[in-house]
A and B are shown apart, each in its own frame.
Chain A
Amino acid sequence: MYAFQYRKAKSVDDAVSALAADADAKVLGGGQSLVAALKLRLAQPSALVDLGTIGDLRYIKVGAAEVTIGAMTTHATVAASPELKKAIPALADLAGDIGDRQVRNMGTCGGSIANNDPAADYPAACQGLVATIITNKRRIAADDFFKGLYETALEAGEIITAVSFPIPKRAAYMKFKNPASRFALVGVFVAETSAGPRVAVTGAGPGVFRVKDMEQALARKFAPESVAAIKVPADDLNSDMHAQADYRAHLITVMAKRAVEKALK
């Protein structure tokens, strides 16, 4: 790790001003992705501004039409929330299947979304549920937020404070795990929302994306057979030591079908 300064933020405002004063400072969430990147010297921030002790950023609020999750809420808290399990069980399931128990005890919702790892789970839930990402200065629709490989719509010094997920009629997430890292080789989030059916895919391409052909087919009939014959072209998908692009393309259809089946249960 390169050397850096460390600062505990007292509040979101305090963090925002610390970031504004130093262009090379970086926000620290749970550290589960950032500390690893620092060890590899993939990042060289001048300072880390730790959001860890801002209690206001750790909450789950279940309303009549939507669930709002504070940015610093850990995956473990999201997975265990009885209210969330009732409102959006697919989201609690997704959080409970991220990494392992130790990672879930530190890693946060906001950190995962800000990081936008191409194989992360939360981005699929955000696009699948038509979520809104709330920052210290604006609200960003999930469709406009994720910009491909580790890129997001966040501006320099902008902090995610919460994410708001409209409660769907039904939803499910199916993840084919990389057995070593437990990240998604392919993960498909399917939902029937008030904006219509949604199919969001993570792990397969350079970033999360929607499969509009499947969404249209599900709009005609929300059933597994609707997506069973729809193939996503392999051209833009990832090929690596774990899976070739055509295999990932195949998995998208299989996982989408299973997710629809699960959503209907």
Chain B
Amino acid sequence: MAVKVSMTVNGKAVSHEVEERTLLVNYIRETLKLTGTHVGCDTAQCGACTVHMNGKAIKSCNIVAMQAEGANITTIEGVAKADGTLHPMQQAFKEHHGLQCGFCTPGMVMSAIDLVKNFPNPTEAQIREQLEGNLCRCTGYHNIVKAIKAASADKNVTVVGG
């Protein structure tokens, strides 16, 4: 069985035949070949698969692609500028050493952009609490929290792509 799914991903209209049970994350990674979005747990715990759907962070391993039909999806590949200039959140992760192996990083950055959108100027406690949906096995979180705090001061932090 197959259905047609259409959506906008990082500003581009895409449309494919998929099996109904295809998860959004598998559509993004395997069909669209956008492998920046990671699968860490496949059980909605770790947040490595976080993308934005209509501007809101969601776990793409926990919905089927058809739930995103007609939606506007942004993945980690879509947050930097077309000329390669890093998004302020990516830049802050780099400057503050907010990553080690980098596996959780795409999800962390996508989640962090949504975090700052909802909590402009977050306190350290707010950042830690609101980062509950993202796990990192390497950094111990300190530098991730620092990076998000620093990026929250940038007035373009909620703007993606461009």
Contacts and interface: CB of A to CB of B under 8 A. Distances in A.
Main secondary structure of the interface of A (DSSP, over half): mixed
B3 interface: yes
Given A4-B20, A35-B62, A101 B67 contact: no
A103 B66 contact: no
Given A32-B62, A36-B62, A76-B56, A100 B132 contact: yes
Given A50-B67, A103-B62, A105-B114, 8 more contacts: A32-B44, A39-B43, A48-B20, A101-B111, A101-B130, A101-B132, A102-B58, A106-B59
Contacts of B88: none
A184 to B, nearest CB: 15
Given A38-B21, A76-B56, A5 B1 contact: yes
Report, nearest first, the 9 A-B pairs whose CB atoms are least far apart.
Answer: A100-B133, A6-B20, A100-B132, A105-B56, A1-B21, A102-B133, A102-B59, A31-B63, A6-B66
Contacts of B47: 100, 102
5 contacts: A2-B21, A52-B67, A101-B130, A102-B44, A102-B50
A3 B44 CA distance: 21
Contacts of B3: 6
Chain A interface category by residue count:
20 to 34
Contacts of B1: 3, 5
Contacts of A105: 53, 56-58, 114
A206 interface: no
Contact of A101 (B45, B57, B62, B64): B57
A89 interface: no
Contacts of A76: 56
Interface in B43-92: 43-45, 47, 50, 53, 56-59, 62-64, 66-67, 69-70
Nearest to A177: B132
A8 B69 contact: yes
Interface in A26-64: 28, 30-32, 35-36, 38-39, 48, 50, 52-53
